[in-house]
Amino acid sequence: MKSKALTAIFPGTFDPITNGHIDLVTRASLLFPRLIVAIAQNPNKKTLFTLEERVNLASTAVEHLLNVEVIGFNNLMANFAQTHNATVIVRGVRTTHDFEYERQLAEMNRALKSDLDTIFLMPSIAMGFISSTIVKDVAYHGGDITNLVPLHVKTELLKRLT
């Protein structure tokens, strides 16, 4: 059987990128020769940071991972995957609720692009509770987010919220 180099995509809004995201990106980068962190411009979500800001924050957070690149996008995931010759989507799943939602997305992506598979990674135990929404809420209420996000993200988030 002839092997082919795989490009995988780890998509999300990343508003902002968290240590939980970075944990999953790091682990996925060990599984695939090329990993794209695809940052979505989703008109249905009200984001705190612009797409460009989210791309910059994520790029800095994963710059130590040589096979990872960060790209913003605003189209269907299946089309983005086609453009970048990707055949795998990587998604983090924390709960059964996450899984049900992610399963629907995986099935739709597969219906749109028949060779596009989705794999699910569970977060490490220490990171499983972290989400961008929780991080923003804790920061907004003056809680310490030092262990939840990279320092540069903490700095920008606190600037934005004050």
According to DSSP, the residues that pair with 10 across neighbouring strands are 37
The parent domain of residue 33 ranges over: 7-128
Tell me what the mean pLDDT of segment 82-110 comes to.
92
- CATH number of the CATH domain containing 108: 3.40.50.620
Whether residue 22 is contained in a domain is answered as: yes
List pLDDT tens digits, range 57-67: 999 999 999 99
CA distance 149 to 31: 23
Catalytic residue among 27, 94, 103, 152: 94
100: Cβ contacts below 8 Å, ≥ 6 apart = none
CA distance 35 to 48: 25
**Structurally, how many domains does the chain consist of?**
1
Whether residue 160 is contained in a domain is answered as: no
Give the 3-state secondary structure percentages of the chain, helix then strand then coil, rounded to 5: 40, 20, 40
Binding residues for ATP: 13-14, 21, 92-94, 102, 127-133
Whether residue 119 is contained in a domain is answered as: yes
pLDDT at 4: 56
Whether residue 149 is contained in a domain is answered as: no
pTM of the entire predicted model: 0.92
